[in-house]
A and B are shown apart, each in its own frame.
Chain A
Amino acid sequence: MNKIVSVFNGTRRDFLKGTVAIAASALAAPAIAQSRPLRIGFVSPSTGPLAGAAAGDPFVLENLRSALAGGITVDGGSKRAVEIVVRDCQSNANRSSEVAADLILREGVDIMCASIHSLTVTPVADQCELNGVPLVSSITPWETQVSGRGATPDKPFRYQLHMFWGFSEVSATYMDIWRQLKTNKVVGALWPNNTDGQGFAKGFPPLLQEQAYTLVDPGRYQDLTDDYSSIIQLFKKSGVEIISGNVLAPDWTTFWTQAAQQGFKAKAATTAAALAFASTAEQLGPLAQNHSFDLFWHPTFPYKSSITGQTAADYAAAFESSTGRQWNQIIGTVHATLETAIDTLKRSGGGDREANREALFKTNLPTIQGPIVAGSGPAPNVVITPLTGAQWRMTKGGKHPFEPIIVSNVSARDVPVAGPAEATS
């Protein structure tokens, strides 16, 4: 389970060659041979229910590993090798906490990265705060990392820099999609009884009200419910034309199929989570057409990596040619968290965790995800990254059966819109 992705993990012969090379260059450049490698802890759900989201990790790490093979030049001009120490949190909060503690206490990492869902990020952030290790985190709305973990304006978290978007971005994006569809502004909510669903149920209604939307919220249903007929009846009765929710893929499928059976049609179906990946849209086939969702990275994002120099389009293409799979939005964001961590180490000189913390909170870096400027967000330890709204469209004879088409950029002004939103039915 525990993989060490090291810059020196070739064969024994490579290792010997490397040793010889290092020995030979030792006189010329003593730094690399003498100083220990800088270590980045990386926690991600490689297995378990969230594993689908983390499926691009091996590519992200491989790509960075080859770019970092020569080490990095830290502040002061010396070369340092970089190791990324990977731990699988198994999509489990307890396990996340355990592996984070292990990375901090046993592996002695200099800085940490954690992404994908609050189940992964929150426990890692707690461990980092407790042990004074700087953390770059992403892919969970920033509120889950600030108010969700009990930070207050006078007592912000000191070690975590969270780069993602929040409710105001996602709600603005959703409403921009709905605005294009000329609806009666009646929204049916599918918010399940889990942390994300409860978060949406708390954060979303006031924002909807501000924009004169009527909300029909049936209450917190349980994940993996097999029958949605009572909710569908309520939506039908209330004249719902927009469905919005934070739904698991199997639940969305059950709901949407049953809605069709019951003769309920909506103009907009906008969800977080359910159809975040093309592979799921493909499995649903026509049921996924024009389904809209929050898309936080796309090959048309006009940014490039500070480490490999790849543009977003290059990076997605490299992913596809290396894995044979369609690109997904997670890879760009995960790459950017590691970019931020590496940039921090470069500027801090990799001295100690406190120096890394200070450097992290002075970050001003253009990444493949967009500019990361510490201190620019709504909370001291939050940086807002671009978020677009997209719809799944079936392609006719394209490379992939489904492509996400960006239809809204109200929360990502640099990113071009590919076309107007279309109704689901």
Chain B
Amino acid sequence: MEWISTLLQGLLLGGVYSLFAIGLSLVFGVMRLVNIAHGDLIVLASFTSYVVVQALGVGPLMSLVIVLPTFFLFGYLVQLLVLNRTLGDDMLPPMIVTFGLSIVIQNALFDVFTADNRKLNLGPIETASFRLGNDIAIGIYPLAVFAIAIATIVALQALFYNTKLGREFRATSDDAEAARMMGINTKRVFAVATGIGMVVIAIAGVLMGVRTTFDPFSGPVRLLFAFEAVIIGGLGSIWGTLFGGIVLGLAQAIGGQIDPQFQIMTGHIVFLVVLLLRPTGFFPKVQH
């Protein structure tokens, strides 16, 4: 029973990690951009939601109505005005720009919000749970996060395979040069893709802000788990990201059950083993 409970918690944790990872995977999949600022953007979203909550007195979920469009626009503009200028054959310049962005975000947040811990409050639902039998309890909130992760993936999948925009994304991802020759404005495609990536980041940020406290320097550790989930799942694959997140969550849960000391390390070890045996991850969509 103990093990079942542990595995269930690991599975739900996997949902959290996938949600952190989807935005990263999306942006990499479409334009081969490794976004080092990913974790800091998640934290920026948490803070943005915090500001909206404080200013308007609404709940964190309602704040999404403002945070999501804001982040879409933010992503669109950052891509159009900054990142597009650095994209080319070399992956390094855009990566370095996002590295700079990461430092800028951390210090700007620190300047405005100080190093205090913040949290988004959802009320009693945060600690609510339902029981399966005697020994297993499932938190409502972790379950909701897991469901949102899957819903996000389904929505992105639908966007990619059932819309004109999705075709443009896929065409650009496969061969940007050829897509341009077919009349696709790849710069705009990139901007929209980053915008959508930012929307997913904003969802992750708000959900993380409810889950635990955050401060301006909470970003990098989120980036690490997101990276691992993306690489385990396979670069550029959205469903793979869910798989990667779950593998990471389960690995941690199993390691933690053996000894709490091994919890996080087991996740890292599984990641390294996957990297050794399947450098492209389990479901790679893009070759590089």
Chain A residues with CB under 8 Å of chain B are: 47-52, 55, 193, 218-222, 224-227, 229-231, 233, 249-251, 253-254, 257-258, 260-263, 277, 279-280, 283-285, 287
A49-B115, A227-B253 as given contacts; A218 in contact with B260, CB under 8 Å: yes
* Secondary structure type dominating chain B contacts: helix
**Is the beta-carbon distance between A51 and B263 smaller than 8 angstroms?**
no
Asked if residues A261 and B119 are in contact (CB atoms below 8 Å), the reply is no
Give the Cβ gap from A146 to chain B, nearest Cβ, in Å.
27
Partner of B214 from the list A220, A227, A250, A279 (CB cut-off 8 Å) is A250
Contact of B114 among A51, A226, A254, A262 (CB under 8 A): A51
A261 and B142 form a contact (CB under 8 A): yes
Residue in A193, A227, A284 whose CB lies within 8 Å of B9: A227
List which B8-52 residues lie within 8 A (CB) of chain A: 9-10, 13, 16-17
Of A55, A221, A226, A283, most buried by chain B (CB within 10 Å of CB) is A226
- B263 adjacent to A221 (CB under 8 Å): yes
> Pick the contact of B117 from A52, A218, A231 — CB < 8 Å?
A52
User: What are the residues of chain B within 8 A of A219 when measuring CB–CB?
Assistant: 259-261
Residues of chain B from 127 to 151 with CB closer than 8 A to chain A in the complex: 127-129, 131, 137-142
Which of B141, B213, B217, B260 is within 8 Å of A49, CB to CB? B217
Bound complex: CA of A226 vs CA of B9, how far in Å?
10
Q: Which residue on A lies nearest to B139, using beta carbons?
A: A261
Q: Could you tell me the distance in whole angstroms from the C-beta of A314 to the nearest C-beta in chain B?
A: 25
Q: Does A250 contact B260, Cβ atoms closer than 8 Å?
A: no
- B214: A residues at CB distance < 8 A: 250
Q: Which residues of A contact B114 (CB under 8 A)?
A: 51-52, 55
Q: How far is the CA of A54 from the CA of B227 in the complex (A)?
A: 32
**Is B108 an interface position by the 8 A CB rule?**
no
B13 engages A262 (CB within 8 Å): no
A227 to B264, CA, bound (A): 10
Measured between beta carbons, the chain A residues less than 8 angstroms from B6 are: 229-230, 233
What are 21 contact pairs spanning A and B, CB under 8 A? Answer: A47-B110, A48-B217, A219-B259, A220-B260, A225-B260, A225-B263, A227-B252, A229-B9, A230-B6, A230-B263, A233-B6, A254-B211, A254-B212, A257-B212, A261-B137, A261-B139, A280-B213, A283-B117, A283-B121, A284-B213, A285-B121
Cβ A222 vs Cβ B9 within 8 A = no
Residues of chain B touching chain A, judged by Cβ–Cβ distance below 8 Å, are 2, 5-6, 9-10, 13, 16-17, 110, 114-119, 121, 126-129, 131, 137-142, 211-215, 217-218, 221, 225, 249, 252-253, 256-257, 259-261, 263-265
When the two chains form their complex, are residues B13 and A226 in contact, meaning their CB atoms are under 8 A apart? Answer: yes
Decide yes or no: A233 and B2 within 8 Å by CB, A49-B217, A220-B260, A249-B213 being known contacts: yes
CB-contact partner of B126 in A220, A251, A257, under 8 A: A257
Residue pair A250, B13 in contact (C-beta under 8 Å): no
| Identity of the chain B residue whose Cβ is nearest the Cβ of A49 in the assembled complex | B217
Which chain B residues border A49 with CB–CB below 8 Å?
115, 215, 217
A55: chain B residues within 8 A (beta carbon): 114-116
Given contacts A52-B114, A52-B117, A220-B261, 13 further A-B contacts (CB under 8 A): A52-B115, A222-B260, A226-B16, A227-B253, A229-B5, A230-B6, A233-B2, A254-B211, A257-B141, A258-B139, A263-B129, A280-B116, A283-B116
